Amino acid sequence: MKKLDLKVTGVTFSILLASLMISWFFSSYFFEILTMDYQAPDLINSDKREIQKSFIIGILTWETLVDASMFYLINFLPLIVVLPTLNLFNVKRVNYQIGKNRHLNLSKEIKKKVLYYSFLSAVTASLAFSVFYSIGGLFVYRSIENIGGYSFLYPNNFYINHPYLFFISMVWTIYFAAFFVLSFITCGLVLYYQKVYQVLGILFLICFGVSSLSNIIGLPIINIYSAFTSYNTQLKTYESFVSVVLFGIIGQILFFIGKTKVQCFYEAN
C-alpha cells in the first residue's frame, strides 16, 4: 500500500469512527441525560445520580447503539466511505494522462486499480464499524428478541444468544457489499470526471435519487440506505442485497463509460 493510500485510509477510518461516536452521543439522548435540568419541579426531590443511572441503563442497548450511531451519519455515509477511492485521481493523472508509465494492457490495469481502491474503501469502512461495535459491545446489552427481517437466514435465536456476532456479521456482509459498490461507482466517476466535487456531488445525487424513487414507488429494496438499516427493517436477508445488486449494475455502466474515456485519451497521446 502506498504512503498516500495509507494516510487517506487512516483519515477515513478516524472520521468514520468519530462520526459513529458523535452520532450515538447525541441521538441516543446521552447528551441530554448529562445536561438536563435536574432541578425541574418534577425531579427536584429525586436523586440526580439515580435518575441518570436509570436513564443511561435504558439507552445502553445494542439496538440503541447501532440505530443511534447511524441516525445523523447515514445520509453522509456514502461520501465518507469512498474517500480512499479518490486517490485514483492521482493514478489517472500520472499513469494514464501524463503517460509516465506505458501499459501493454491498459484495460486490465484500470480494472486492477479500480478493484483495489473499491476493496480498500470497503475494508476501511468495515473495520471502523467493527471497532465501534467491539468497543460499544463492552457496555451494552440486548433488549429485544426479534431484531427484524435481516435475521431470516440466521439460525434460530442467533441474535438472542450472540448479538455482537450478529452485528459484526452484518458489517462484513451487507455493509461491506454496499461499501464496495459505492466505491466502485465512485471509481467509475473518477475515471470520467476531473474534479472531486463532481464525483462526490454525482454520487450523492445517485444515492438520493434512487432513495427518493424507492419512496415514491414504495419499493424500499432498491434504496441503498436500506442496506445500512437492515437491522431495523422488515426486509429479509436476501432482500437487503437487492439495492447492492442495483448499484453494482450502475457501477458497471459508469466504469465502462469512464474506462472508455481514459482509453481514448491514453491512445490519443
Rounded Cα distance between 73 and 75, Å, is 6
Q: What is the pLDDT of residue 116?
A: 96
Rounded Cα distance between 61 and 75, Å, is 23
Q: What is the pLDDT of residue 183?
A: 98
Residues 6+ apart with CB under 8 A from 207: 78, 182, 224, 225
Cell of 105: 494492457
Q: Could you read off the pLDDT of 2-25 as tens digits, one per residue?
A: 777 889 999 999 999 999 999 999
**Summary count for the chain: helices (H), strands (E):** 12, 0
Q: Is 99 helix (H, G, I), strand (E, B) or coil?
A: coil
Long-range contacts of 85-88 (CB under 8 A, 24+ apart): 85/117, 85/118, 85/120, 85/121, 85/183, 85/186, 85/187, 85/190, 86/8, 86/186, 86/190, 86/196, 86/199, 87/2, 87/4, 87/5, 87/8, 87/117, 88/113, 88/114, 88/117, 88/187, 88/190, 88/191
In this structure, is the dihedral angle defined by the CA atoms of residues 151, 152, 154 and 155, taken in order, positive or negative?
A: positive
Partnered with residue 61 across adjacent β-strands are 141
Partnered with residue 141 across adjacent β-strands are 61
Q: What is the pLDDT of residue 144?
A: 83
Q: What is the pLDDT of residue 233?
A: 66
Q: What is the pLDDT of residue 232?
A: 67
Neighbour tally for 169: CB within 10 Å: 15
Nearest to 251 by CA among 178, 184, 175, 180: 184
Q: What is the pLDDT of residue 268?
A: 67
Low-confidence spans in the chain with pLDDT less than 70: 1, 37-40, 42-48, 96-104, 232-234, 268-269
Residues 6+ apart with CB under 8 A from 237: 149, 150, 151, 152, 153, 154
- Is residue 175 classed exposed, middle or buried when 0-12, 13-18 and 19+ CB atoms within 10 A define those classes? buried
